[in-house]
Amino acid sequence: MSLAIETLDQLDGGPMPLTVLRTIFSSESDCSRTVLGLLNAGDIALHDAANVSVPKWRWRELFADGGGTAWDGLVASLTPQGMTKIG
Q: How many domains does the chain have?
A: 1
Predicted local confidence at residue 66, as pLDDT? 63
Residue 87 lies in a domain: no
Distances (CA, A) of 62 to 15, 55, 87: 18, 11, 29
Residue 71 lies in a domain: yes
Predicted local confidence at residue 64, as pLDDT? 78
Residue 58 lies in a domain: yes
In this structure, the dihedral spanned by the alpha carbons of residues 46, 53, 75 and 30, taken in order and rounded to 10 degrees, is 20
Cα 42 to the center of its chain, rounded Å: 11
Residue 63 lies in a domain: yes
Predicted local confidence at residue 63, as pLDDT? 81
Longest dimension (CA), the chain: 33
Is the distance from CB of 74 to CB of 18 less than 8 angstroms? yes
pLDDT digits (tens, 9 = 90+) for 2-58: 999 999 999 999 999 999 999 999 988 899 999 999 999 999 999 998 999 999 998
pLDDT digits (tens, 9 = 90+) for 43-66: 999 999 899 999 999 888 888 766
Q: How confident is the model at residue 67 (pLDDT cuts 50, 70, 90)?
A: low
Structural domain that includes position 9: 3-82
